[in-house]
Structure formats: C-alpha cells, structure tokens
Amino acid sequence: MITALLAFGSYWWASIILLGSLIEAAYLFKWFLNAVKSPVDPGTVHDEVIPEDFPEEPVKEPMAGASPAGIVARIPRQSSGGWIAPFMAAAVLAACGMLLATVFILRGRISGYRDMVLLLPLAVLVLWTVFDVIRVPFKLQMGLAIVCSAGYGLVFLPGLDGIRLVFGLIFIAGSAVQMVPLLNRRGHHRGLAGMLLALVFSLGNLLFASSALEFFFSWELMTITSFFLVVRGRQASGAALRYLVFSLGGAFSILAGLSFGSSPLAALLLGIGFLVKMGTLGLHIWLPGAYAETDDDVSTFFSSVTSKAGLFMLFLLAGLFVQEAIPAGFAAGTRLESLLSGITFTDLLGWLGVATAFAGAFLALFKEDIKYTLAYSSMGQVGYMLLSFALMSQLGWMNSLYLAVTHLMFKGMLFVAISGVVYRTKTRLMYQMGGLITRMPITFFTVLIGIIAVSGVPPLTGFGAKWMLYTALIEKGWYLQAALAMFASGIAFLYLFRLIHVIFLGQLKDEHRTVTEAPIWMLIPQVVGIAGIMLYSMYPSLLLKRLETAVAPFFETTISWDGYTVLSTLGYWNGTAVMYVTMGVFLVPLLWLLIVQRKNTQKVGQFNIVYAAERPYRPETTHFGYNFFAPYEKALGFLHKPLATRFWYRVVSVAEVAGSMVRKLYTGNIQTYALWIVIYTGILLSILQRGM
C-alpha cells in the first residue's frame, strides 16, 4: 500500500499511515512490555543507576569480611524470569511465518533455493520452539545453534565475494564465536537459543537479498528478533521499547526510501534508516540502554555484529550518497547558494561520523557503569567507520572495512571479558571493583589487549587504522575532521585507561578476595579475539590485501605495497616492523626488571603504605575510582548535556498531547464509532478510485 501511494504521489497519506503505524506499534508494545516485564523492572532505565556507595557515618574501625551495607550494588545472576515474552513471540512468529510461507509456496510465489533460504529464520524459530516444549537442555540447544551457524557459513559464504564476503564473515563467523559464552548458562532459557540463531540467519539473509521485498523482510526480522533478545534483560523493558520504536521508525524510513528509486530523497530516507541501526549521533539514544541492559553475554552481539548491518547497506548503496544533498536552486540568488552548492550526502555523513566518534568517546568518559562505558565506546567506533566510508576513496573504504573486522574482535572480546567480570563480582560499577588483576589475570590481559587496540596505541590494529584514517582524511583535504578525529582518540584513551585502572589495578576489595577467573566458556572467545588481533597486528597485509581486492572495483589504486609495507602519497606503515620495535622497547626493560632487579624488590602488604600522614586500613579508602574525571567534567560538562535525548523527549511530549486530543473522538457511543468507520471507508475508496 505504501509503495502504491508513493507511486501515485500521495505522499501525505503515506506519511500519515506510516506515522500512525509507528505510534500504534509503540502503544501496543508498551502495553505488551508492561504485561511481561520483571517485577524488579521499573520500565524507565535508559542510563546508568548509581546507588549510595558509602554509609553516612564514616568507618572508624577496621572491618574484615563483608563490606559495609550499601558499598556494593549486587547484580543477581542471569535470570530466566524474562523467558515468557521471547518464548511466546518465537512461537507466534514461527506459526504465522510458516503459515504465510505455506500459502506462498502453494501459490507459487516462493520457489527455488534462494527463496527457501529466506525462510530459514522462521524454520529455526519453529524447531527451537519445539526444543523448548520438549525441554531439550539449553547447552545442547546452544551447541546446535553454534553448529548451525557455522554450517550456514560453510555452505553459503564461499558463494560470496568482495564486500559481501567481508560482512558475511562478520555476521556469521563472528556470531558463531560470540555464541560460545552462552554455553556457560545453566537451567532452561526458553526462546533464547532459537531467537539468537534466527537473528544470525536474518543477518545472513541480508547478504543474499536480491529484491527490495527480500531485503525488507530480512531487515524487519532482524529487528524483531533482536528486540526480543533485549527484552530478556532484568531491567530492559524501557530500553527495549526505545530500541524497537527507533528501529521501526528507521525501517519505515527505509520502506519509503525504496519507493523513490535513486533520487536524493531516496538517499535521505534510506540513509536515516541505516544510521538508526548504527546508532549515530542524534539517533543514538536507544543505543546505551539496549547495549547495557541486555543480558551480559548477549550484549556483545549488538556491539560487534548487528551494529554493522547499517554500514553494510551503506556500502551496497554507496552510489546514492554521492549526490548533492541540497536541491538545485535552493536559496537561489543568496549567499547561502554558494555555501551550500556542491555539498553531497557523503560530506554530511563525514561530519556526522566524526561527531559520533567525538560524542561517543566523550559520553563514555564520565560513566561509572562499565557496560554503559563500552556502549558509548562502540558508538564512537562506529563513528570512525562512518567517517572512513564517507571519504569515498580506496584508503577510506579499506579503513572502514578494516575497522569493521577488527572492531568485531576487540569489542567482542571486551564485552565478553567484562561479562566475565560482572559474572564474578556481581556488580557493573567500576569504582566498586579494583585489584582484580591477581584474581582474573587472563581477563586482565584480554582487556589490556582490547584497550590498546581501541585507543590506537602502537603496535596493535588500532594504530594502523588510525594511520589509514588520518592519511585518507588529509589526502581528501578534510583537515578539520582529521583534527576532531585525533582529539576524539585522545578522549578515548582517557576512558580506556580508567577502565583498566579502576577494575584491575589498585586495591582488591574484601568481598572480591575469593573471586576466581571467568568460566572457560567466556575465556574461549577472548583467546580467539586475542589471536586475531595479534595476527593482524603482526601481519596486517593478510587482511588489508583482501580488503584492497574487495574495494578495487570502485576506486583507482592510491596505495602500493613493498613487502609488508603499505605506501601512500603521504607516508608508509609497516605493521610488522612496528610490532617488533614496540616489543623490543617494552620487553627488554621488563626482562631486566624481572631478572636483574628481582633480588632488590620487596613485597609489602596491601596497607603497608602511608599518605597524608595516615595509614589506611580499608581498600575503599586507598583506591581512587569514583567520579574519576571530575575536573574534566567541571571544565567541559556543558558538552555532556543530553541534547538529543531532550529533543526526542519533546517529540514524545508533542505526540502525547496530540494523542490525548485524538482520544476525545472515542466517546463510548457506538453510533459515533460507526460514523468514523463510514468516513474512513469513504476516504479509502476515494484514494483507491484515484489510484485506479
């Protein structure tokens, strides 16, 4: 119907129907979430919640054992209490989908191998719903899900090439690895394994979609399955509703954009839909809650895998975004005409990308909740990918794909590592941790590798990504964007330093003295991520040459290779040499300290220190973690105001006022309702008659 209305120029009617559908979906799902949410879920959690961390009266005597009341905010283990909604949704989706598919098959609308592949997510929901009904053990369900995901990749990925193959490996292989930590779960988690595998297959279907209908079907199935994964969080109903409303809004924008061919309006509408899924600045307010309030071992999928779906579609439809964004003749005869002429959508995407990178890093800087820190960090990394894509150059696209692949590794292993920390410590607040390096050494090493890669410090993959980004920006002449991107990288280093310092260094808390290393199922993806990061840091050409081949059909060659050295017009980078030099600089002094100076070292007790003329006796008083960057917030706090959130709250307020006015039409009189039905039928018939 929307396609037909837009084809006949009924833009207002199409807009009204889409807006009404969005409002109706928001209302219905809000009611649904209120009915099924956990009793401990207030439905309003969209940002971190900081409890009272210290009692009002100071501690005057040394205390052993448990910490004072209020010091630690406990987080219960992953609960299966939120299984009802996803389980019901899986059953209903599976039944309706398979019924519709059966009708289409009988009528001949679905036939052939490719069409059947599109139905795999629905088949998964049917099969895993049966598994839940007959109570197949969850570990077995997840094991089968991992095998099916790997099998999907082995069967279908060899038929892909170029950019589709790159994202296919991210969606399928990356998801298979990220599923491993869920094998640590015990008990029954109805609907989880099936919904997760359906999400993976719907992402895979995006790779093979050959028509607008196939693409939109897979996109919407990805949205609904990911929504029911968010719902499972203990306090995620508010975040899930916000995620769904923004996702549906983006999907409706895509639906409208598909009807405008290759026009600038199509580029605008499609771009908005893809940017919503990426969580770019202004459209990001769903992101922190959805990433943070989702179950800890599921959050990694949203950050490292599904966030790339929008980027993938930008690559596929890149030709749309090289058009001028401002219509010809706009502000003709004024000074604005000369300022706005020639501005393309990629120019706007470049500014949006660098703004997203800066905002993500800045918002992560002041968070106490570790998952919200990582959520905003992911937002910033997506900004770099968007900025690199917008450069529309060989080096820019190579860097965007390079970031997408390496982000899967380091952000995936960071989320899994932090999931293990939360699993053991029962808290997500960083300042309530400390000294965990001795209790969780493997997790510490994972986080260390991860933050080095994210921050762009030599010698890991992040350094090469930053070199390619700055080189491409300068070659393009985007000097201001390069400066802002470099400044954002500096901010990222600050919050990453805090992350590892506050959690793993400093003083070990009393309640964490018996903490052990993360479970083996959580360590496996960390080891895989570390291996990938170290491999591509030592030999970046293994990945870059394949990415160069993927983007070769779109741009002229601007780089060359001399062995392991990549040469550009501005300089060169040899990842292997950087790795050797850095290892030498750090390993030689370390070995000297361990071998030569070991006999001169003295191990002291935890509280064998004196500062400010006092000897501390509790770890809470010797480890600085809370409000770590207070001076920065005092100086730059005005940039921390949630302007985008306030804007969307005002939009919601306007919608509520309009809804209360429309509600007056519902008088309770059946004759009035009959009149509305007659009027609606008459309007609909007039529209259809006009179309015919």
**Closest listed residue to residue 617, CA positions, set 60, 200, 1:** 60
Quick one: which H or E segment has residue 495?
A: helix 479-504
Question: Across-strand partners of 562?
Answer: 565
Q: How far is 120 from 125, CA to CA, in rounded Å?
A: 9
Orientation of helix 345-365 relative to helix 479-504, angle to 10°: 30
- pLDDT(333) > 70: no
- Mean pLDDT check: name the lowest of 46-60, 69-83, 617-631: 69-83
- pLDDT(72) > 80: no
Phi and psi (nearest 5°) for 641?
-70, 135
Cis amide bond preceding 86, omega within 30: no
Provide the residue ranges of all domains of the chain, joining segments of one domain with +: 83-235, 321-571+614-641, 642-691
Mean pLDDT of 480-488: 94
Would you give the DSSP letter of residue 169?
Answer: I
pLDDT of residue 65: 41
Contact 126, 194 (CB under 8 A): no
Please write down the HEC assignment for all residues of 12-57. Answer: HHHHHHHHHHHHHHHHHHHHHHHHHCCCCCCCCCCCCCCCCCCCCC
Structure-block tokens of residue 621: 């008083």
Contact 689, 10 (CB under 8 A): no
pLDDT class of 133 with cuts at 50, 70, 90: confident
Q: Say what percent of the chain tops pLDDT 90.
A: 50
**Closest listed residue to residue 181, CA positions, set 444, 526, 424:** 526
Quick one: which H or E segment has residue 560?
A: strand 560-562
Could you tell me which residues come within 8 angstroms of residue 440 by beta carbon, excluding any fewer than 6 positions away? 420, 421, 424, 504, 515, 516, 517, 518
- pLDDT(277) > 50: yes
pLDDT: which is higher, 435 or 50: 435
Contact 446, 454 (CB under 8 A): no
Distance of CA 570 to the CA centre of its chain: 33
pLDDT of residue 52: 58
Q: How far is 308 from 409, CA to CA, in rounded Å?
A: 13
Report the SS3 class of residue 628: coil
Mean pLDDT of 517-540: 94
Taken in order 293, 294, 298, 301, is the CA torsion positive or negative? negative
pLDDT of residue 62: 41
Report the SS3 class of residue 566: strand
pLDDT class of 60 with cuts at 50, 70, 90: very low
- Summarised one tens digit per residue, pLDDT across range 582-622 is 888 888 888 888 787 777 777 777 677 776 677 777 776 77
pLDDT class of 266 with cuts at 50, 70, 90: very high
Q: How far is 437 from 427, CA to CA, in rounded Å?
A: 16
Q: How far is 425 from 478, CA to CA, in rounded Å?
A: 45
pLDDT of residue 67: 41
How many CA atoms does the CB half-sphere of 349 hold within 13 Å? 33
Orientation of helix 541-551 relative to helix 394-425, angle to 10°: 130
Mean pLDDT of 133-143: 92
Degrees (nearest 5) of the Cα angle 370, 371, 377?
90
**Closest listed residue to residue 86, CA positions, set 248, 198, 242, 204:** 198
pLDDT: which is higher, 167 or 210: 167
- Summarised one tens digit per residue, pLDDT across range 495-516 is 999 999 999 988 888 889 999 9
- pLDDT(680) > 50: yes
Structure-block tokens of residue 498: 């805090």
- Strands in 572-574's sheet, in edge-to-edge order, are 560-562, 565-567, 572-574
Helix, strand, coil tally for the chain in percent (to 5): 70, 0, 25
Q: Say what percent of the chain tops pLDDT 70.
A: 87
- Mean pLDDT check: name the lowest of 159-168, 489-498, 670-679: 670-679
Q: How far is 161 from 222, CA to CA, in rounded Å?
A: 23
pLDDT class of 195 with cuts at 50, 70, 90: very high
Per-residue CA distances from 602 to 437, 508, 537, 599, 611 (Å): 19, 19, 36, 8, 19
Contact 260, 622 (CB under 8 A): no
Q: How far is 314 from 576, CA to CA, in rounded Å?
A: 32
- pLDDT(395) > 90: yes
- Summarised one tens digit per residue, pLDDT across range 292-315 is 999 999 999 999 999 999 999 999
Contact 264, 323 (CB under 8 A): yes
Contact 509, 603 (CB under 8 A): no
Q: How far is 543 from 528, CA to CA, in rounded Å?
A: 16
Distance of CA 400 to the CA centre of its chain: 16
Burial 212-238 (b: 16+ CB within 10 A, else e): eebbebbbbbbbbbbbbbbbbbbbbbb
Mean pLDDT of 649-659: 82
**Closest listed residue to residue 349, CA positions, set 320, 313, 287, 391:** 391
Q: How far is 367 from 374, CA to CA, in rounded Å?
A: 9
